[in-house]
């Protein structure tokens, strides 16, 4: 099943970008095997521990060259170096503990013990399809979209400049003469390469809410359009900024950064550390923050309050 799924995934990428033009269909099998080994198999860990196994989805010893091709990278967000030393909105769910193993993994990345996640088949799919999705969003809504640079929090309080975000776009409208300031987040779900399952969402997954609220806070925006694009259709959700949610979220993010990342990074940078999971265990975060359950519950409330503005299948609007 994994081989079949990955075969579909690579063939989708093959037809979507010119970076695969030299492979040829019959030679794909060897490359697929390499991708399976590097992206989907159980990987060797740089550091092993019985209590904190790392997620193979995010960690690999070496990224496959195909996935690092320039034509598979994001069309304008080349901010990897800027992201390295910040806690960015896309990682907020991991920092809280929505996926317990990823919290420790993110900690290892931020202290410099392992290389940051650089992409997989799903992120490559999103990178090459996002421009098409943006054009579809603009056609459906009539909105103009601007593309800001990497955004660092802390304009009011510079002590918060460890938080950052990389928005997909900004939307500025006027409603009855009053400014309406929104942020756009585009999702192009991969469905493990199985496009027979690629239907647009009816509901926002809970784990995207920390990212959504983080983007609105960091960019000082009142609402978000979350546009979900698939090969079969798309859906558009409207979410609103929730300052009480952010207050709770920021507590968990601050704890992760200042109690775990910052002190461990100081030691790791200035000392010879061969096994940070053991030697820096006093700073290693627990799999979940104590407020994680509360934030999950509040995320559900925000999802329940969000509005599904539009859902289309093969160009036909659903009621």
Task: Please name each of the domains of the chain with its CATH number.
Answer: 47-244+288-317 (3.90.320.10)
Cα-Cα end-to-end distance for the chain:
35
pLDDT in tens, 117-174: 777 888 889 889 999 999 999 999 999 999 999 999 987 778 999 999 999 999 998 8
Is residue 117 within 8 Å of 68, Cβ to Cβ?
A: no
CA–CA separation, 273 and 117 (whole Å): 21
Q: How does the average pLDDT of the chain come out, rounded?
A: 81
Report residue 229's pLDDT band, with 50, 70 and 90 as the boundaries: very high
Q: Is the pLDDT of residue 45 over 90?
A: no
CB atoms within 10 A of CB 291: 16
pLDDT given at position 319: 62
Report residue 110's pLDDT band, with 50, 70 and 90 as the boundaries: very high
pLDDT in tens, 174-188: 877 777 999 999 999
Radius of gyration over alpha carbons of the chain, in Å?
20
pTM: 0.77
């Amino acid at each position: 099943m994994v081989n079949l799924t990955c075969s579909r995934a690579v063939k989708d990428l093959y037809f979507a970008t010119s970076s695969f033009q030299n492979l040829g269909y019959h030679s794909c099998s060897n490359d697929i095997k390499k991708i399976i080994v590097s992206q989907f198999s159980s990987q060797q860990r740089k550091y092993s521990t019985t209590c904190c196994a790392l997620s193979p989805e995010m960690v690999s010893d070496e990224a496959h060259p195909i996935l690092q091709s320039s034509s598979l990278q994001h069309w304008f967000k080349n901010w990897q170096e800027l992201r390295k030393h910040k806690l960015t909105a896309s990682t907020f769910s991991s920092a809280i503990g929505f996926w317990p193993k990823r919290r420790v993994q993110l900690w290892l990345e931020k202290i410099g013990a392992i290389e940051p996640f650089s992409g997989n088949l799903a992120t490559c799919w999103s990178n090459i399809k996002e421009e098409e999705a943006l054009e579809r969003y603009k056609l459906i809504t009539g909105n103009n979209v601007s593309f800001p640079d990497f955004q660092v929090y802390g304009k009011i309080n510079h002590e918060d400049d460890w938080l950052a975000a990389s928005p997909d776009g900004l939307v500025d409208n006027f409603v009855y003469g009053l400014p309406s300031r929104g942020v756009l987040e585009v999702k192009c779900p991969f469905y493990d390469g199985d496009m027979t399952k690629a239907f647009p969402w009816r509901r926002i997954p809970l784990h995207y809410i920390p990212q959504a609220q983080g983007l609105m806070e960091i960019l000082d925006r009142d609402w978000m359009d979350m546009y979900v694009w698939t090969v079969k259709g798309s859906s558009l959700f409207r979410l609103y900024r929730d300052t009480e949610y952010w207050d709770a979220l920021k507590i968990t993010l601050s704890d992760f950064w200042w109690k775990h990342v910052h002190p461990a990074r100081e030691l790791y940078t200035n000392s010879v550390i061969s096994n940070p999971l053991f030697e820096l265990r006093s700073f290693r975060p627990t799999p979940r923050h104590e407020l994680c359950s509360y934030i999950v519950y509040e995320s559900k409330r925000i999802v329940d309050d969000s509005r599904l503005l539009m859902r289309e299948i093969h160009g036909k609007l659903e009621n």
